[in-house]
Amino acid sequence: MSTADFFMDHFGRHFVQPTGDAWADVGRVLRGAYPMTGKKSLSRMQSGWAIVRPGSATLQLDLDIPGLQKSRLTRFEAFAAELAAWDGHAPRIFMLFDKAPNPPQAIFVSVDKRRVRICTKAGALTEDWTTHPPTVKGAKK
Amino acid sequence: MERFTITADLVTPAIINTLTLDGLLGAILFEALQDVDRAHAAIPLRCRDGLYHASMALPVGDAQAGQHAFIAGLRASHDLDLALIKQGKDGQPHRHLGLTRRSDFGNVMNGYKTWVAPALCWHAEGDPEQVLELLQEVEFIGKKRTAGFGQVRGWRLSESALDGVADAAGQPLRPVPLTMWHGSPDAIRADAAWRPAYWVPQHRAICVVPKGAPS
């Protein structure tokens, strides 16, 4: 399984028409601007998070893209819930978005709870979910 | 083809990630040949279906992981050429660049993980004499070599029972694609580059990776 093919098959194809060069398509998806729900303006994926699974994907940013699930959870809540429910075998892509687009080479598939990779604009953060489960940062006590 | 261990005695901490011996040798050969394909073809190690029998760097002795931070600083009025700044329709930069704008272009901190260890070693299968010959002149390895990291005192060859792919317990010594893995089924799986050039995303696959492998 190619990371780029998995990304395009279950997430990217909702945004752009695949050209056959999957890694180039991943870059186009991550850099592209898309219509926002109920607005005329376009927006890049420049905030929030996304989770890609076999057959489905969830995006926090409210883009008007059919075929994607939407969620209002924070990234910590969403990732913690996904990891808790995950069998640790079926591939997942965890992405965090920021103003600068994530580079395609920073997109990694996670296939093991001991090596969970969170894809960001600065590369992939690696965590062992079995020893360091994610915690909600900045929670008020 | 012989199985061997090559050891680099370190003088200073090394900044390395998944530095496989084939990756290191490929980089040395590329400097001489200036051709990626020829450099990889010339690596004197056993290669099976694109997979080199060469481990990742393993710390020897009392090893400690550390952190080091560098700050890359730009002096806006000295170091930045206005020709490098995106210009507007009138041919001028979008923003006036002066000392007060320095913070917009200013210091960037980069963090690196370091290995403090007496030595690093690699297990491999191939031609040990050729490998030693290639490495003999190498005085620094890893990142930030010009800042003094990864200084090597010398290289030593010794015999090994390992083939550079799996250790005696059946755990991987390097990233190995799942389809090519015949060792322990409980090895950690990750999306990783498994053949040079390691920075090319097309060279990645779902692999088994060593337990303590840095990301």
Q: For residue B112, is pLDDT > 70?
A: yes
CB pairs under 8 A between A and B: 41
* Per-residue model confidence as pLDDT tens digits over B16-27: 988 999 999 999
B51 or B108, greater pLDDT: B51
> What SS3 class is residue B17?
coil
Give the per-residue pLDDT at A67. Answer: 92
Cα–Cα dist B157/B2, whole Å: 12
Cα–Cα dist B5/B123, whole Å: 4
Dmax of chain B from CA atoms? 69
A36 touches B at CB < 8 Å: no
**Cβ–Cβ gap A23/B202 under 8 Å:** yes
Neighbour-count burial for B64-99, b at 16+ CB within 10 Å, e otherwise? eeeeeeeeeeeebeeebeeeeeeeeeeeeeeeebee
Cα–Cα dist B204/A104, whole Å: 13
Q: Chain A residue with minimal CA distance to B189?
A: A112
Q: Which residue has the tokens 């959870």?
A: A73
* Boundaries of every domain in chain B: 2-63+117-209, 68-110
What angle in degrees, to the nearest 10, is found between the helix axes of B128-135 and B21-33? 60
Neighbour-count burial for A27-46, b at 16+ CB within 10 Å, e otherwise? bbbbeeebeeeeeeeeebbe
**Per-residue pLDDT tens listing for chain A (141 residues):** 799 999 999 999 999 999 999 999 999 999 999 999 988 889 999 999 999 999 999 999 999 999 999 999 999 999 999 999 999 889 999 999 998 899 999 999 999 999 999 999 988 988 888 886 656 555 544
DSSP secondary structure string for all residues of B34-56: --HHHHHHT--B-EETTEESBPB
Structure tokens belonging to residue B51: 């997979």
Give the per-residue pLDDT at B72. Answer: 77
How far B199 CA sits from the closest chain A CA (Å)?
Answer: 8
What angle in degrees, to the nearest 10, is found between the helix axes of A22-31 and A3-10? 50
The share of chain B scoring above pLDDT 70, in percent, equals 85
Q: Find out whether B126 and B53 touch, Cβ atoms under 8 Å.
A: yes
* Per-residue model confidence as pLDDT tens digits over B116-147: 999 999 999 999 999 999 999 999 999 999 99
How far B207 CA sits from the closest chain A CA (Å)?
Answer: 10
* Per-residue model confidence as pLDDT tens digits over B24-78: 999 999 999 999 999 999 999 999 999 999 999 999 989 898 999 988 776 666 6
Q: Note the pTM of the prediction, 2 decimals.
A: 0.84
How far B49 CA sits from the closest chain A CA (Å)?
Answer: 17
Give the per-residue pLDDT at B1. Answer: 81
A2 touches B at CB < 8 Å: yes
A124 touches B at CB < 8 Å: yes
Q: How confident is the model at residue B97 (pLDDT cuts 50, 70, 90)?
A: low
Give the per-residue pLDDT at A1. Answer: 77
